[in-house]
Amino acid sequence: IALVFEISEGPSVHVGEVIVSGATFTRPDTIQNSIHVHSGEPWSQARVDETLDRLRQLRVFQSIDIGPFAVDERSEAASPGEPVLRDVRVSVAEINRWVFEPGIGLSTEQGPKLTLRGEQRNLFGRAHKLDLRFEANWRPEGFLENGTGPFALQLRSADELKKLEETGTRVVSTYTIPS
C-alpha cells in the first residue's frame, strides 16, 4: 500500500485590525501596551499567546479571549499571492475592582482582633493596585496609656504612634504597579 499526500499551501493570513471589546474601566493604552499582535503582521500563534500572558499579568480581567473574527467572503477574496487579512478580536471581562474584607478573630498571642481590608484592583484604569489594611488588638491592660479606652485612635505624637504599634494595632498599605 502506497500513501500519497498532496499538500497545497493556501494564502498566508495577516492581521487586519485589532479590535478590543469588554473593557469598561481599564484604559485603552493599558490594554494596548500588552497586545503583541499588530496590523499588517503575519498571524502568529506565539504572539497571540504572548498577548494573552501579558493581559493575564495585569490581573484586572476575569476572562480574556483572543482570536480571529469569523471568515467572510471579503476576507477570502484576496488576489492570488496576496495575504488574507483577518481582524483579530480581543475580548475581556473585568474583575470587580473593589474588595472589602471585615473580620474579627482571636489570637492566642495578641487577644481579640478586629481587621478591615480594602483593595482597589484597577486604580485609575491602569492596572495599579492599592491595598489598605487596618488591624487592632484589644488588650486588657488598655490600648493607650492616656486612658482613652481600648479602641480610641487619637494620635497626637510620634510617641503615641509607637505605643499604638506596641499594642498590636497596625495600618498597612501597599501600592502595586504591574511589571
The mean pLDDT of 82-108, rounded to a whole number, is: 90
Does residue 154 have a pLDDT over 50? no
List pLDDT tens digits, range 38-52. 999 999 999 999 999
Per-residue pLDDT for 142 more than 60? no
What's the mean per-residue pLDDT of the chain?
80
Full DSSP string of 58-110:
T--EEEEEEEEPPP-HHHH-PPTTSPEEEEEEEEEEEPPSEEEEEEEEEETTT
pLDDT digits (tens, 9 = 90+) for 4-47: 988 887 778 889 999 999 999 999 999 999 999 999 999 999 99
- Structural element, H or E, at residue 18: strand 13-21
Q: Which amino acid is at 165?
A: E
The whole-number pLDDT of residue 137 equals 76
Lowest mean pLDDT among 34-38, 45-49, 116-120, 132-136: 132-136
pLDDT at 158 (0 to 100):
56
Contact 26, 55 (CB under 8 A): no
Q: Is the pLDDT of residue 80 over 80?
A: no
Q: Tell me whether strands 61-68 and 13-21 are parallel, antiparallel or unpaired.
A: unpaired
- Closest C-alpha among 91, 178, 63 to residue 129: 178
Q: What pLDDT, on the 0 to 100 scale, is given for residue 34?
A: 95
On the question of pLDDT at 131 being above 80, the answer is yes
Pairing of strands 84-94, 13-21: parallel
Q: What is the SS3 assignment for 168?
A: coil
CA 117, CA 140: separation in Å to the nearest integer? 25
How far apart, in whole angstroms, are the C-alpha atoms of residue 169 and residue 151?
10
Question: In the structure grid, which three cell numbers stand for residue 13, read together?
Answer: 493570513
pTM for the full predicted model: 0.69
